[in-house]
Homo-oligomer: A and B are copies of this chain.
Amino acid sequence: MDNRPIGVFDSGVGGLTVADKIFRLLPKENIVYFGDTARVPYGNKSKETITRFSKEITKFLLHFKVKLIIVACNTASSLSLDSLQRSFSVPILGVITPGVEEALKASRTGRIGVIGTGATISSRVYETKIKSIDRNCFVVQKSCPLFVPLVENKWLDNDITLKVVKKYLSPLLAKKIDTLILGCTHYPLLKKAIRKITGKNIVLIDSSKVTAECTRDILRKKNMLGNNKKAYAKFFASDDKGSFSSLAKVFLGKNIKAKKVILCGK
């Protein structure tokens, strides 16, 4: 048994979906969440910068003596996970591997689409990981840089959003994928719009649930599950609390307040 908290971080509030799945699956775990809202988004930034930010956040979470860290951001998982794992001894889990395993389970034809931010897609991490497990898979990728702004502006299902979804997904649909990885924590909020364009025969993979399950399995295996009677969740953000709360409401449908913390950029 290990009652230390689990650390979760994201460039902003998207990773709350992962934190939420952990609350539900592991209600006796304490959670410390950090959203880098002063520097969001990460998806259009360089590997070096994203890795620097991720290391600062990891150090911040370590002050809470976290027993495990989840990088609940596809961009940081794609570009910085290896470097984080090399630099810190605490177990660090990303959202890519859980998503890939789920997609491989779901796909019958082995034709898998991946959508994500510019940085995630350029890294080709999803493609590499899928092919390292099953090299017969056919993988087609597409960056969807307007999806995050659409979600953050709460245009989840209007005619413009549908047009954008169609523009991005048409090339993937033309390749006859049967499974689509939503490779960014913002994208599940566009599921309704995406579903209208893909039809119902394509499996949409949202890695938040699988990531929570993966976390449980790792903690169980290491005999590190928590047993806090009154588990807490603490939220921190690098920009002011207001912006975090208003967007958190879009993601989780409930009010969440974050404490502001300024990380050093050097």
Chain A residues close to B by CB (< 8 Å): 37-40, 44-46, 48-49, 52, 145-146, 148-150, 152-153, 155, 159-160, 163-164, 167, 238-240, 242-243, 262-266
Contacts and interface: CB of A to CB of B under 8 A. Distances in A.
Contacts of A266: 262, 264-265
B265 A44 contact: no
27 contacts: A37-B45, A38-B39, A38-B45, A38-B49, A38-B265, A39-B39, A44-B152, A46-B239, A46-B242, A49-B238, A49-B239, A49-B240, A52-B262, A145-B149, A145-B152, A145-B153, A146-B155, A159-B163, A160-B160, A160-B163, A163-B163, A262-B265, A262-B266, A263-B265, A264-B266, A265-B265, A265-B266
A152 B266 CA distance: 26
- Copies of this protein in the assembly total 2
Contacts of A160: 160, 163-164, 167
A53 B152 CA distance: 22
User: Which among A52, A150, A239 has the highest number of chain B CB atoms within 10 Å?
Assistant: A239
Contacts of A39: 38-39
Contacts of A262: 52, 265-266
B46 A243 contact: yes
B145 A240 contact: no
Contacts of A164: 160
Contacts of A148: 149
